[in-house]
Chains A and B, each alone.
Chain A
Amino acid sequence: MSKNISINVHHLTRVEGHGNIIADVTNGTIDRIEWQVPEAPRFFEAMVRGRHYTEVARITSRICGICSVGHTLASVQATEAALGIEVSPQTQKLRDILMHAENFDSHILHLYFLVAPDLLGAPSVFPLVPTHGEAVIRALRMKKVGADWASLFAGRSTHPTRPVPGGFSEYPTMEELRKLRADLQGLNPDLEATVNIVLSVAGNLPAFERPTEYMALSNDEDYAFLRGFVQTVMPDGTKERWPVSEYRRITNEYVHPRSTAKYTKNKMDSYMAGALARFNNNYDQLHPKAKQIADAFGLKPVNCNPFMNNVAQLVEAAHSVFESIRLLDEILEEGLRIEELVQPTRFGQGASAVEVPRGILFHDYTYDDQGMCTAGNCIIPTNQNHANIQLDLEKFFPELLQAGKSEKELELAMEMLVRAYDPCISCSTHYLKVRFKD
């Protein structure tokens, strides 16, 4: 074992946003092991104040370019809770299919472009093109289906325009729904190939475990994404539920010096949100074909290995496809009605919880009697995972040291741990920086 180690991963690669991993060891003693989040706060809660309820979702959808559908739906549902709006079963069904589209698209992006390079021993997707070009093309083909799938219900693939408080402003046609059903059915071979490629490298996922509390939305009807209670499952399988309106006392946000993002905790010192948390809480409601995929990996609840979040994402990607086919069949049989938007019955405060790809997301707004927003609060899933990542590192790093890993191996293993959470720290600037050729 090295006696002196200094690891400083500044701006960890292949995560969305900026985070640092710091590890210092002197004479075999760990001085410091930290997951640092240095990004600036973005003040969305202030941006929505003074805006009319019809505008708020359009603003908050801009919180994230990857989870813009989830932010839109969380925002719309919180506004509906504040305004006493109850939407129709058809609206709920269409929103379910839209949420599945984003879940599928995001998980495929994470697995193929951000995780696969680690498992295949490459620094990024580029070196994989000569050896795994077919897989990269498959990933892009699947992502294209995901983008078209979302566009049909959102109006466009990012930053939706169609889902609004009270329902939908525009609807897809029956013909478009039939085509989508065929496209989703056509994903079967690509899903199968994805399962096989992940299975072939799953042995490279570290066998690390730490007893963890897992938080997710949950109900008795479906594998919850949009409706239900907040539920946690403890390592021993004990479950407890709370109404969404009590989200503040379940998340218990607090500030820690190592992070500009707030930490959260519930019954334990931290909890995990995301695909593995949903899997551990709601396994029984998974589509049978998704359960078969979980079985192939030996994934059973309650699983306390954060690296298995990657596998849970694969299981969920399949669930989103099969569940959407089932929902589409129901709509195609019932017919699609163009419904009037449901109007507010009161103005006040309301909160919602939505499962976005990276975990449970809370939005909360208060409106005055003119429908203008006077207060907003958003708690995003990546922030809820920061404390858990830190505690995982505190257990994982000494185990790696004990196993005699080299500094390079230590660095990669810790990077893989953070990436497994699929953190989306913030969407920063995206501008190009170029130099003109002579």
Chain B
Amino acid sequence: MRYLLGLGNYTMGDDSIGLRIVEHIIQENLDRDFRAIDLSANAMNLLFYCAEETEKIVIVDAVDMGISPGEFRIFSPEDVDSFKPSTGMTTHESDILKVIQLGKKLGYTIPPIRILGIQPGTMASVMELSPLLQSRMKEYISTTLSAVIETE
């Protein structure tokens, strides 16, 4: 089984991009050959999908990579260092890279993981995406689907 996991906060502007992509894919029934799941803030639940029978996991999330807002990158956890100031292992912190690290230490089978990171524009208490990210939704969705389908 392949999984697409969306992370973020729906009420904090572009932080919700991953959730909105997953929501769209579920609503349009585009998740026929894989399971699309809204993890919201519960990054630790990623480990529920780390099993031998899991073929691949794609995570879609807002990621500050120091590039222009709206731009995106696809990368593996091994490609990056997290430098988010962390106040500990909480659902609030929600650092998926730390969760993967915890899973490895606990002996979980970590399948191939690809992260589609989208550089956010607006991070504020609003229920909508910024116009910039909204205008590129189609592109993000097709890139997400390609990332899930692509063979590792």
Give the B-binding residues of A (Cβ under 8 A): 11-17, 40-44, 47, 59, 62-63, 65-66, 68, 109, 113-114, 117, 123-126, 129, 133, 136-137, 140, 143-144, 147, 156-159, 427-437
In this complex, which of A14, A113, A159, A432 has the most chain B Cβ atoms within 10 angstroms of its Cβ? A432
Interface CB pairs A-B, < 8 A, 6: A11-B87, A133-B107, A140-B44, A147-B42, A429-B12, A433-B82
Check if B40 sits within 8 Å of A42, measured CB to CB: no
Evaluate contact between B12 and A144: CB separation under 8 angstroms: no
Residues of A within 8 A of B105 (CB): 126, 129, 133
Alpha-carbon separation in the docked complex, A431 to B72 (Å): 13
Set of chain A residues within 8 Å of B127, measured between Cβ atoms = 47, 59, 62
Q: Contact check, A40 vs B82: say whether CB atoms are below 8 A apart.
A: no
A-B pairs, top 9 by smallest CB distance, nearest first, are A65-B41, A13-B88, A430-B94, A434-B80, A431-B62, A433-B84, A13-B87, A429-B15, A14-B88
Q: Are B106 and A133 in contact (CB under 8 A)?
A: yes
B141 shortest CB reach to chain A, Å: 19
B38 touches A125 (CB 8 A): no
Contact assessment for B91 and A431 in the assembled complex, using a CB-CB cutoff below 8 Å: no
Contact across chains for A433 and B83 when beta carbons are under 8 A apart: yes
Tell me, yes or no, whether B137 is within 8 Å of chain A by CB.
no
CA–CA, A42 to B127, complex, Å? 10
Closest chain-B Cβ to A155's Cβ sits at a distance in Å of 10
A143-B44, A428-B12, A429-B12 provided; 13 other pairs, C-beta below 8 A?
A14-B90, A113-B44, A114-B88, A129-B102, A133-B105, A158-B39, A158-B42, A427-B9, A430-B41, A432-B97, A433-B83, A434-B84, A436-B80
B96 in the interface (beta carbon within 8 A): yes
Measured CA separation A301–B101 after assembly (Å)? 42
Q: Which of A13, A41, A431 is the one whose CB lies under 8 Å from B120?
A: A431
In the complex, which residues of chain A have a beta carbon less than 8 angstroms from the beta carbon of B47? Answer: 140
Pick the contact of A158: B40, B61, B87, B92 (CB < 8 A): B40
Cβ contact of B63, chosen from A137, A144, A158, A434, cutoff 8 A: A434
**Contact A109 B91, beta carbon cutoff 8 Å:** yes
Q: Which single residue of chain A is at the shortest CB-CB distance from B11?
A: A62
Asked if B10 is at the interface of the complex by the 8 Å CB criterion, the answer is yes
- Nearest B residue to A146, CB-CB: B45
Task: Find out whether the CB atom of B88 lies under 8 angstroms from the CB atom of A431.
Answer: no
Q: Is the CB of A156 within 8 A of B102?
A: no
- Known contacts A65-B9, A65-B40, A429-B12; A124 and B88 CB within 8 A of each other: yes
In the assembled complex, the CB of B42 is this many whole angstroms from the nearest CB of chain A, namely 6
User: Which residue of B has the minimal Cβ distance to A59?
Assistant: B127
Q: Is the CB of B40 within 8 A of A434?
A: no
- What residues of B have a CB within 8 angstroms of the CB of A147 in the complex? 42, 45, 48
| Chain A positions within 8 Å of B48 at CB level | 140, 143-144, 147
Give the docked Cα–Cα distance between A147 and B115 (Å). Answer: 23
B125 at the interface (CB under 8 A from A): yes
Q: Does chain A have a CB within 8 A of B37?
A: yes
